Amino acid sequence: MKPVYLKPESLKDVVTSYCPGCGHGLVHRLIAEVIDELKVREKTIGIAPVGCAVYAYDYFNFDVAEAPHGRPPAVATAIKRCLPDRIVFTYQGDGDLASIGTNEIIHAANRGENITVIFINNANYGMTGGQMAPTTLPGMRTTTTQKGRDSKLHGFPLRVSELLATLEGTVYIERVSLIDPANVIKTKKAIKKAFSNQLTGTGFSFVEVLSPCPVNWGLKPLEALKFVKDQMIPYFKLGILKDKTEEMKKEKGA
């Protein structure tokens, strides 16, 4: 028997703490596959966030540093500047990146640090029990918005990718999802491009993944995929928001 698909080497052989149907596991696996394909496992350093993915260092089979709430871009900046030959990426949720660490991510992006940021958008604070996050959709029920998010009271969901796309320092920004096999393949492609950009020294790459959070949404795993498709995607439009990769490569070559 010839293997068609084997577990990636960059992923440890452990049972994760994620809920059934959580998008984190899928994104972990895709990152591990990409790192294996690029053959950079030995020189990769990941930065784990505070949130559900806080145990990422137990699941990834390469070096992972832990950063305080929202500060992975700052830690990644330091590591990348001290060890420029390493592949440094941060893995952050929406509570971590869009709320607590908004300042950090905006300035890291504006400086155009040569790092990769993977942003998991599940529209709530997953680990702490599903409270409202900046990305929570209008009318969406969470434990802190029992009658649904009211835009007059709580403001509007933050589109981080669009926000960062306006900055000069960013090179590649794409929003992807995990709703079906085709979109999972697209997500992998986007993650691969974000990592390749760092290998070629092109600059700041950012991938936002719309991820299901079945338990906190009060839905079954398959219903959660449907929720992403029907409710989240109309607000958070998928696609490449900015791609200066080729320009930057030319600039570097010239």
Partner 1 sequence: MSKEIKVKIDKEKCKSCGFCVLYCAKGILFTGKKNNAKGFFYIEFDDKLNKCNSCAICALMCPEAAIEVFKEDKK
> According to the binding rule CB under 8 A, does residue 23 interact with partner 1?
yes
CB atoms closer than 10 angstroms to residue 129: 12
> According to the binding rule CB under 8 A, does residue 6 interact with partner 1?
yes
Bridging pattern class, strands 131-132 and 63-66 = unpaired
Number of residues that bind partner 1 (CB under 8 A): 31
Pick 32 or 98: Cβ nearer partner 1: 32
Name residues contacting partner 1, limited to 138-167 (CB under 8 A): none
> According to the binding rule CB under 8 A, does residue 3 interact with partner 1?
yes
Pick the piece of the chain touching partner 1 (CB under 8 A) from 38-46, 90-98, 133-141, 219-227: 219-227
Cβ 15 to partner 1 shortest distance, Å: 5
DSSP H or E stretch at residue 173:
strand 170-177
Pick the piece of the chain touching partner 1 (CB under 8 A) from 21-29, 68-76, 77-85, 197-205: 21-29
8 Å CB contact between 23 and 211: yes
Cβ 36 to partner 1 shortest distance, Å: 12
Among 77, 79, 133, 87, residue whose Cα is nearest residue 107: 77
Tokens linked to 56: 């990422």
| Residue 166: C-alpha distances to residues 66, 84, 162, 238 (Å) | 29, 26, 7, 17
Cβ 124 to partner 1 shortest distance, Å: 18
Among 146, 140, 153, 147, residue whose Cα is nearest residue 236: 140
> According to the binding rule CB under 8 A, does residue 8 interact with partner 1?
yes
At 146, give phi and psi (nearest 5°): -65, -30
Tokens linked to 137: 């959709």
> According to the binding rule CB under 8 A, does residue 25 interact with partner 1?
yes
> According to the binding rule CB under 8 A, does residue 11 interact with partner 1?
yes
Cβ 162 to partner 1 shortest distance, Å: 27
Among 42, 185, 199, 200, binds partner 1 (CB under 8 A): 185
8 Å CB contact between 70 and 104: yes
List of residues contacting partner 1 (CB under 8 A) = 1-8, 11, 15-16, 18-26, 28-29, 32, 180-181, 184-185, 214, 221-222, 225
